[in-house]
Chains A and B, each alone.
Chain A
Amino acid sequence: MILLLAVACGLVAGMLRARLQQRPYRIAQLEAIELVVLGVVPQLVAFHIPGTAARFPEALVPPLLLISQLLLLAFVWLNRRRPGFWLLGSGVLCNLLVIALNGGWMPIAPQTVAQIALAPQQWQAGERFGLSKDRVMPAEEIRLAFLSDHLVLPWWRVAFSPGDVLLAAGVFYLLWAHGGAQEDIKEV
């Protein structure tokens, strides 16, 4: 949800920019949108739809996650000349890297869980965190821990990764750029 705020803020910022500069808000068409659908629909089934997420075999989560991340990376590559996509690509890569090096799960340390869960004592190392793509792992066992879900907002029970920060920055910049001159958004 926190990343979707970046979409809202970017859109508002872009439209405001267009209004202030007395330009229309221009929208470039993205390439290969079907890769996003192919990459995300399985994740919706595995993580977001309660009826299917609860039944989804955990053993299938790592390959599903890795394949979907690769599809999203392909989408980024095909749109790499659009503004913001290098940031988006960096974000996907960071998350993909830490997931790939930690058994196909996004690792989250017990110390981080303690900051965001209402009942942190119920989460043990080795357990999946709810129905998410996260697995609780001892901090000392997490590879590339600095890329894992360890960033926390004190006023919101959310843990996110540096990759997520890059994703938010990328989508904000993309939507903001569409409020600028045509040169800002055309292919270079």
Chain B
Amino acid sequence: MKTLFREASLFVSKVNRQHIQLFLLVLTLSLFLLGAGAPAAEGGTGGMTGG
């Protein structure tokens, strides 16, 4: 448990502002694409549409 906590702390300390910005950028773009044209159309027995 102590080891796990220490490893988590080390990981969090390595996450810097740029990582967070990159994550937000990718998340924003992914959401944008999902809304603008990337639904997963489950056609019952299969098939997907991209927009």
A interface residues (Cβ-Cβ under 8 A, vs B)? 1-4, 6-7, 11, 24-25, 27, 29-30, 33, 36-37, 39-40, 43-44, 47-48, 68-69, 72, 75, 88, 91-92, 95, 106, 108, 113, 116-119, 122-123, 129-134, 149, 151, 156-161, 163-164, 167-168, 171, 174-175
Contacts and interface: CB of A to CB of B under 8 A. Distances in A.
A6 B29 CA distance: 10
B15 to A, nearest CB: 14
B40 A132 contact: yes
Interface residues of B, number: 30
Contacts of A174: 29
Contacts of A157: 46-48
Contacts, number: 158
Interface of B: 18, 21-22, 24-26, 28-51
A95 B50 contact: no
Given A7-B30, A47-B39, 8 more contacts: A1-B48, A2-B50, A36-B28, A113-B47, A117-B44, A134-B39, A149-B51, A175-B29
Judged by DSSP, the binding face of A is: helix
Contacts of B37: 3, 91-92, 95, 160-161, 163-164, 167
B4 to A, nearest CB: 29
Contacts of B26: 7, 11
Contacts of B49: 106, 108, 116, 129, 132-134, 149, 158-160
A171 B29 contact: yes
A74 B51 CA distance: 19
A30 B22 contact: no
Cβ-closest 5 pairs across A and B: A160-B50, A132-B41, A118-B46, A40-B35, A117-B47
Nearest to B17: A27
